[in-house]
Structure 1
């Protein structure tokens, strides 16, 4: 039902207007009558009428002031002025206040009914428009994750224009400012990590991986992180980096959770950048690295995983790794050389230096602390290994990052 309020200082006029038309048949309920502008404002605030009959001359607050003040609280209500004044200045002011109709007393019943029906038509149009907007808003909220993911994948694949990036990330409320990072995960189907040997449907497996990742991030209250399934067998985590140590541990944490719950071998790559514009470059790099990893033999895949988990141990040896993956040291050494083109020591050094470079992005760490974290008990030995791999000393490299 549409609600009607009548505001007029003459009781006879109010009675006449309240009975002039079959309000119920028109779908209208009379919710109040006011004898002055102040009372009309109070009733309007309380009963939220859709249609108001308003006289110009009323005590305390006249009709025109009432309309002006009413529009601050009831923006979508329809005001029909019914006045005994035919002065042009009143009509002119009413037009400025966007009054729906200006009628002179005494009103003609047929004319009033025509105006009221027209008002109802306007209200119905406004209601339909509002309902459509609410529906569209609900659809947007319901599908916002799909919309977001479609845009991000388009962007990472290099299809989206650069100028779209900031506007879309702002619209999608991703809040990415400053350093950002990306982690990519992939299941290696032919390398089991559990005893169940369960065969997974690919879509179901990727769905499970995404859910595990989202649940872990939610439990950690990780803000500004997005989890994507790129439909190519990879789960991608991307977003802002608030703490480099936590960020570096995140990839391992998610990988452990995936492998524990799914009993599958998961390979992971993780990189960071100084701005969101670099994320597509990171994405291409991570996809290339995962592709290279995934093409290796099961033994070398497991070896790389073992080293990635234990590189920080200063005493880590080829024998330790061989024992961990249950092969002989000699066989493992030959496989590493054949598939990676590196000896065990060379590969371990490469991993340690790569991890050290990631830690150097955090200004809180001193060089000697980084050396200890990546498995070097001597800063001198670390500096020598770092220069051999990168061509420069860790101190110079770290200063270059800061500048």
Structure 2
């Protein structure tokens, strides 16, 4: 079941789209309706939709600006623009934002059902994909934060305040969702990733590489703090770990 967010400032349009989705047999569930881009972003962090049906001309934050922010937060989101604006510059920007489709109002029911059919065929994962992609269980915000940590663990400024500002999401909300879904807090997951990377360096690096170098490679600015955290996690200091590992080679 793909969760759907409808973002349009016209209540009649939102109601009609929701009705059409409810009438068909494709695996979609409307989890939110927003009348502007700001509301849509709030719904995104709360309900983690996967499919976004978005109008362009909305107050406060327009559709294209919303999509631009959405793609930073949830890069794998499926986005369809449904608009009355047939302007080249809008379509050009939509292509750059990698939207799935660009439909012009008024949209017929048959065209809309065909759209849902195409999305179902392209994005509904089969059972094997469910097994292989463990991230499928995580909400949009947790997938994004987890992915950012996995790729940017070496950046010393990476902390909860930095992430909250980056994704424009409340710190306590991020912490709560990560604890619920990962079983680890933000700090616990970040520490886990950094220490596992440190172990890889210690196991493969030249024995002459300093502990300070190892610490900075995984995001710590203090060698002593890194050593304390490492020993607390594994019961052995990083230097001892490296020496014991290489002594068995």
Shorter chain as denominator, the TM-score bin is 0.5 to 0.7
**Corresponding residue of 1:224:** 242
**Corresponding residue of 1:174:** 203
Q: How far apart are the structure 1 equivalents of 2:202 and 2:111?
A: 52
Structure 2 counterparts to residues 186-335 of structure 1, below 5 A = 223-224=241-242, 239-240=245-246
Larger Rg: 1
Question: Per-residue displacement from partner, 1:219-270 (whole Å, max 9, x unpaired)?
Answer: 8775136xxxxxxxxxxxx6347xxxxxxxxxxxxxxxxxxxxxxxxxxxx9
SS in 2 for 1:29: strand
Question: Which gives a bigger RCO, structure 1 or 2 (Cα 8 Å, sep 6+)?
Answer: 2
Which structure shows the higher strand fraction? 1
Once the two structures are TM-superposed, the CA of residue 124 in structure 1 deviates from its matched residue by 2.3
**Corresponding residue of 2:21:** 21
**Corresponding residue of 2:53:** 53
TM-score if structure 1 supplies the norm length?
0.35
**Corresponding residue of 1:248:** none
Question: Per-residue displacement from partner, 1:169-215 (whole Å, max 9, x unpaired)?
Answer: x9686144327xxxxxxxxxxxxxxxxxxxxxxxxxxxxxxxxxxxx
Q: How far apart are the structure 1 equivalents of 2:123 and 2:201?
A: 33
Q: How far apart are the structure 2 equivalents of 1:79 and 1:219?
A: 48
RMSD of equivalent CA atoms: 3.1
5+ unaligned residues in a row in structure 1: which ranges?
Answer: 136-169, 180-217, 226-237, 242-269, 271-278, 280-403
**Corresponding residue of 1:85:** 85
**Corresponding residue of 2:190:** none
Q: How far apart are the structure 2 equivalents of 1:84 and 1:178?
A: 65
5+ unaligned residues in a row in structure 2: which ranges?
Answer: 136-198, 209-233
Matched, 1:11 2:11: yes
TM-score if structure 2 supplies the norm length?
0.55
Q: How far apart are the structure 1 equivalents of 2:104 and 2:14?
A: 15
Once the two structures are TM-superposed, the CA of residue 134 in structure 1 deviates from its matched residue by 4.6
**Corresponding residue of 2:191:** none
Once the two structures are TM-superposed, the CA of residue 52 in structure 1 deviates from its matched residue by 0.7
Once the two structures are TM-superposed, the CA of residue 132 in structure 1 deviates from its matched residue by 2.4
Q: How far apart are the structure 2 equivalents of 1:38 and 1:75?
A: 18
Residues 23 and 29, structure 1, Cα contact 8 Å, conserved in 2? no
Question: Per-residue displacement from partner, 1:127-178 (whole Å, max 9, x unpaired)?
Answer: 965742559xxxxxxxxxxxxxxxxxxxxxxxxxxxxxxxxxx968614432
**Corresponding residue of 2:139:** none
Q: How far apart are the structure 2 equivalents of 1:105 and 1:75?
A: 26
Residues 36 and 59, structure 2, Cα contact 8 Å, conserved in 1? yes
Residues 18 and 30, structure 1, Cα contact 8 Å, conserved in 2? yes
Once the two structures are TM-superposed, the CA of residue 8 in structure 1 deviates from its matched residue by 0.3
